[in-house]
Amino acid sequence: MKKWLKKYLIWFAILLFVAVGFLWPLPKYIEGPGDAANLSKIVNIQNHPDKRPGQFMLMSVSISQARPFTYLYAKLSPYYSIEPEEDVTGGQDMKEYSKVQQIYMDGSINSAIYTAYRQAHKAVKIKYHGIYVMSLMKNSNFKNQLAVGDVVIALNGHRFKSSIGFIKYVRQQKYGQKLTVTYKRHGKLHQAVAPLGMIAKHRAGIGITLTDDVQVEPKIPIKVHPGQVGGPSGGLMFALQIYSQLTNKDLRHGQKVAGTGTVDGLGNVGEIGGIDKKVITAKKHGAKIFLAPYVKPTKTILKYEEDHQTNYQLAKATAKKYAPSMKVIPVKTFNQAVSVLGKN
């Protein structure tokens, strides 16, 4: 009986160790190479199919809460990084974080559609609806009324044509002054009333971070289904896929083209996070070209950059080490990306 009990306790201890190793959550997140999706399967434009060989690929970064075993694996792997929870979620719970990432993705798609249609000389309109609430500061007087994902459409009955108008109006108000915020949640209108708080030194405010809620209306119908991927970093690649379908221009030349970067309505390409992981993903999926956002690496910029390198510098260094046959191309604008692909 004692021998059986000893064996039982040993097995129980092993199972407990394995369970803790795989399941016990740590206050850290692990970022690593994600997936690469063929954008021709995601973008559907009426009467403008994509029949050319090659792919434009949508890159993603995998994010998961650390467990003891995955934490150890990430420590030993050059492809992964361990990030503080606050840096990844911004202090939001995962439901709010996912909602924010979806809002960013929707905005990214809208900007890509607008950019690609304009550059292809196809009719497209843009409508401004208000501002999304992306997060609420802890000292906001509206934190128990507004929620992440709400769309603010008016302040004290005043509507604006951009987020700049909202910001200017709030800055003209005084600390402690009551503000009526009209907002939409799940399609229904609501109002929140509270005094403006002191959110920064000598400056009153609502205490939210925000982004524009816009709706793009192209004349040629388009549907984009990104699935579970979130965030703003796919803008450039969405725009290239849409543009190539609208114009029927062969920008890929039969190759797998990867890349990343935001794109605004003016066609400017912006930097993103985790570009080194995306280079690894691109290599694993057979990409021959990788488009990376470019900014001039000044001392001030490098001070705040990830690993003190610009997106292009980090992508170039990662490719040199792990994917030497991949060509990393710096791009500042959407037009530049189209031009450089036409030559490759």
**Catalytic machinery residues:** 233, 278
Quickly tell me which residue has 């999926």 as its tokens: 285
Residue 117 parent element (H or E): helix 94-119
- DSSP alpha helices (H): ranges in 24-93? 68-76, 85-89
Residue 58 bridge partners (DSSP): 37
Burial of 195 (0-12, 13-18, 19+ CB in 10 A): middle
CB within 8 Å of 284: residues ≥ 6 apart:
33, 36
Quick one: how far is CA 113 from the chain centroid? 16
3-state helix, strand, coil in the chain (%, to 5): 35, 30, 35
Residue 197 bridge partners (DSSP): 205
Q: How far is CA 224 from CA 117, 143, 221, 227, in A?
A: 14, 33, 10, 9
Q: Angle CA(307)–CA(240)–CA(228) in degrees, nearest 5?
A: 70
Integer Cα distance of 128 and 162 in angstroms: 7
Six-digit token string for 53: 């060989």
Residues 289, 41, 89, 66: is their CA dihedral positive or negative?
A: negative
Quickly tell me which residue has 């609502």 as its tokens: 206
Asked if 302 contacts 309 with a C-beta cutoff of 8 angstroms, the reply is yes
Q: How far is CA 240 from CA 219, 270, 291, 315, in A?
A: 18, 15, 11, 20
Q: What is residue 143's DSSP assignment?
A: T
Question: Is 200 in a helix, a strand, or coil?
Answer: strand
